[in-house]
Amino acid sequence: MKLWDKGFTIDKQIELFTVGNDREIDLHIAKYDVQASLAHAIMLESIGIITNNELKDLEKGLQELATDIENGTFVIEASFEDVHSKIEWELTNKLGEVGKKIHTARSRNDQVLVALQLYYKENLGTVNEKVKTVFDTLLNLADTHKEKLLPGYTHLQVAMPSSFGLWFSAYAELLIDDVHLLNAVAKVVDQNPLGSAAGYGSSFPIDRELTTKELNFATLKYNVVAAQLSRGKSERSVAAALGGLCNTLARFSMDVCLYMSQNFGFISFPDALTTGSSIMPHKKNPDVFELIRGKCNKIQALHSEMLLITNNLPSGYHRDFQLLKANIINAFEDVKAILDILNYAIQQVIVKDIDLKDEKYQYLFTVDSINNLVVEGMSFREAYQQIGGQVQAGTYTPDLGKAHTHVGSIHNLTLDKIREKYPH
């Protein structure tokens, strides 16, 4: 069944190409199409297009479909073009003529728009909740291991003393920035496009404020052309926000991979969380974090894809928009899985004791030594030259006892302040 069926049969090869994988990906938005259809039916009854009894029948039919979707028994067969045609067919099959009325004053364009907006809105909230879980885990790890020093690096060269507390809480605080972007995008998608129809509204006296209230949108996308133009713009915004979050997660995962290697040896994980080699029996590979890194890098590329598909399209609907749906939905599903596995794995991290008296760390404290001389009255430049001369002569002796007391430093992590910053 096709919502645009006019009584002729389309070429099978053309149909296969144009439908693509819509049937599979539409299962992710099926429940939102049902929600929007219910709100639309309530509105149609309020303006006299359908009767109260017809509304009751539609409510019953849509609730049955919602239950099927929730139970995982809802299927979109190959005879249907997409979820929208499947739902209308089911309603017509169960209810008769009233099922054919559900599409009144709608186009598939605004059906897709509203279902996707509802999907984005709910899943941005879910991602937010999962980010908060990872944030709490990282801060708890920072507090647990705040006394354990860790070499800090610039240019992958030993630089200055850091700590596990500083490392864990750094990524926790970066997540706050990512949440600000997620929250901003949540406002972008929290606008009801239903009623824009094919992009130019309807001659029916529809009540768009009513559907906005029924679907719990914060506001309405008032201009019907603007509603249609939001297709692509919403996806670019979502991709940018998910990409920002994934940048943080990918960099953290890269650190984990480095710190697990023998040349660093700062952390480890239980054997059950790592994988081995088919020929090297000693290997403990950080496959989970490598896959997180790879998946996150792939998601970071999504914004460019969304931009290139949509940046030169004129106003109105174009079939190009169909190509946005699968990858943006897959990105959401991947991000949720990444956050879950990252939180699960990192809670089991084994933080090792690092011998900072090891020869390779002998210059880790040179800046502290310079600062000691400055405190004693020497100028910074003269102190820098004196310690530099000791390094060149091989006579430098580190001072491991210098305290870093300013806000946000090794010995003053201000974890409570970071926790207070998290958006509520």
Q: What are the helix and strand counts (H, E) for the chain?
A: 15, 6
Average pLDDT score over the chain: 92
Packed helices 287-300 and 224-260: angle between N→C axes, nearest 10 degrees:
150
pLDDT band, residue 20 (cuts 50/70/90): low
How many Å apart are CA 92 and CA 147, to the nearest integer? 67
The ranges assigned to domains in the chain are 12-101, 108-195+222-351
The predicted structure's pLDDT at residue 8: 42
Average pLDDT rounded to a whole number, residues 183-210 = 97
The predicted structure's pLDDT at residue 170: 98
Average pLDDT rounded to a whole number, residues 239-250 = 98
Residue 207 predicted with pLDDT over 50 = yes
Right CATH number for 108-195+222-351 from 1.20.200.10, 3.65.10.10, 3.30.365.10, 3.90.1150.10? 1.20.200.10
pLDDT band, residue 285 (cuts 50/70/90): confident
How many Å apart are CA 273 and CA 395, to the nearest integer? 44
Average pLDDT rounded to a whole number, residues 282-291 = 82
Residue 358 predicted with pLDDT over 50 = yes
Average pLDDT rounded to a whole number, residues 255-276 = 88
- CATH number at 12-101: 1.10.275.10
Average pLDDT rounded to a whole number, residues 236-260 = 97
The predicted structure's pLDDT at residue 52: 97
Tens of pLDDT, residues 97-132: 999 999 999 999 999 999 999 999 999 999 999 999
Average pLDDT rounded to a whole number, residues 131-143 = 98
How many Å apart are CA 251 and CA 257, to the nearest integer? 10
The predicted structure's pLDDT at residue 9: 52
Residue 21 predicted with pLDDT over 90 = no
Which sign, positive or negative, has the C-alpha torsion 50, 51, 57, 63? positive
pLDDT band, residue 284 (cuts 50/70/90): confident
Tens of pLDDT, residues 46-101: 999 999 999 999 999 999 999 999 999 999 888 888 899 999 999 999 999 999 99
The predicted structure's pLDDT at residue 273: 79
Q: Give the number of other Cβ atoms within 10 Å of residue 422's Cβ.
A: 16
pLDDT band, residue 3 (cuts 50/70/90): very low
**Which runs of E-coded beta strand occur in 47-109?**
none
How many Å apart are CA 38 and CA 36, to the nearest integer? 5
Tens of pLDDT, residues 314-347: 998 998 998 999 999 999 999 999 999 999 999 9
Query: 378: buried, middle or exposed (CB in 10 Å: 19+, 13-18, 0-12)?
Result: middle
* Predicted TM-score of the model (pTM): 0.92
Percentage of residues of the chain with pLDDT beyond 70: 93
